[in-house]
Structures are given as C-alpha cells and as structure tokens.
Amino acid sequence: MSTINNNLSDLDALGLRSVDQLKATEPKGNDMNMEMFMELMTTQMKNQDPLKPMDNNQFLGQLAQFSSVQGLQTLNDNFSALASSLTSNQALQAGGLVDRSVLTEGSRAYFNPERGLEGELNLDSSGTDVQVRIYSAAGSLMKSLNLGTQAEGSLPFKWDGSLDAGGSAPAGVYRVEADYYDGKGRAPINTLVSARVDSVVVGKTNEQLTLNLEGMGSVPFNRISRIQ
C-alpha cells in the first residue's frame, strides 16, 4: 500500500502546505486582510499552468477589486463611528431643550394658568380686523382676541385665560384659530403655538429627535419652528 509523504520540506518544494499549516493561517470568520490576499495570489501564481500564465491585467483587476472592497469596508466602519458620535452629540444637545419653550405649527395649544397660552401668527399680507379665537376641546368659543390692523409678517399673541363670559379657563388643551379681513372676506392665518419641553427622546441613528411637549404629547423635531 502506498503511503502519503507529509515531509514539510517536500511540501514546501512543491509550493504546498500541510493541513496544520493551513489551519494556523485560516482567517477567522470571513475576514481577509491585504497580506492574506497577496499570499493567496502568490500561491496561485506559483501553481499556475506554465503554458497558460495569468494575464497581468487579470492579476491587476483582482488586486483592484479586493482593494476596492477593503476600502468600502473601511469607509463603512468610519461612517458607523461618525454616526455614533453624532448620536451622542445629539443626545447631549437635546438635554438642553428640557424646560425650554418652542414654537410649533398647529392649532392645538396647552394653556397653563401660570404662563398663559402664547403663539404667533404668520400674515402673508397686511390686513384689518385680525382675530384669534380660542375654543375648548368640546368646540365652545372661550375667548376672542381682537388684534386690529396688522402688517405682513409675524405677529405674537397671548391669552391669559380670561373668558368672554367672565371667569378664568382651567388648564388644558385648547384649539386656536385665526383669520383677518383681506379686503374681500375673512382669510385664515397659519398659527404657531408655544409649548414647554417636558422631555426629549433621542432615536437610533436613522431616527429623528422627538420632543414631548407639555399637554400636547410627542412632536418630531422637524416640526419645531423656533426654540425660545
């Protein structure tokens, strides 16, 4: 019966390796660095058919392909590190928003007896008889604020909780509507309402910042017009 020659010097002379040598250099998982790649390429060239040697362009193409993949992996790792850093920085900055007031576009606003209800109107053009009306959650008119004639631009307003029928409104969420007379009829006005930030939720890398506003629930940060 024939025997298998495991003499290392003989294997080296043929450009081969023993099983133990291959196991010792076997990459962990799917990782392969440039040194391993070049070693494989060298072994491939040593054992190629002399009558059909590897084309130089083919060799350079394989080398460029591996370098491109390795470069993309490095780039992905760098971007992941940058994203983690930005998320951490975002969390630190977001903590400074707690207890601050912000302006967000909408018709729902929370009235706090200590601070009142504040907001801002955006007039596309000048107009007369500008009015802000405050409604309860049930739809009852609580207060009308008559702001008279106003020029184009931003116009702040504030409700102290006083009611048209007398007395004061309790704390809670109210609906805000505004319009003005533009010379032809009543035209609606976009309203911005002020709210205090109770807490901040920092999402994952692909998620945006969310603010929890007093009495109004969660609002995405991209809906915040101004931090006061």
| Band of residue 15 on the pLDDT scale cut at 50, 70, 90 | very low
pLDDT tens figures, 180-190: 998 888 999 99
Greater confidence (177 vs 210) lies with: 177
Taking every pair of Cα atoms in the chain, the longest distance, rounded to a whole number of angstroms, is: 113
At 29 the pLDDT is 45
pLDDT tens figures, 58-98: 656 666 666 666 666 666 666 555 555 555 565 556 668 88
Q: Is the pLDDT of residue 26 over 90?
A: no
Residues 129, 130, 135, 139, Cα dihedral to 10°? 60
Residue holding tokens 């099983």? 19
pLDDT tens figures, 120-174: 999 888 889 999 999 999 999 999 999 999 999 999 999 999 999 999 999 999 9
Q: Is the pLDDT of residue 40 over 60?
A: yes
Average pLDDT, the chain: 76
Q: Distance between alpha carbon 133 and the CA centroid of its chain, in Å?
A: 36
Annotated domain spans of the chain: 101-227
CATH number corresponding to 101-227: 2.60.40.4070
Residues 76, 78, 79, 82, Cα dihedral to 10°? 160
Query: Between β-strands 190-201 and 210-213, what pairing exists: parallel, antiparallel or unpaired?
Result: antiparallel
Q: What is the DSSP letter of 154?
A: E
| Band of residue 215 on the pLDDT scale cut at 50, 70, 90 | confident
| Band of residue 99 on the pLDDT scale cut at 50, 70, 90 | confident
78 burial class (0-12, 13-18, 19+ CB within 10 angstroms)? exposed
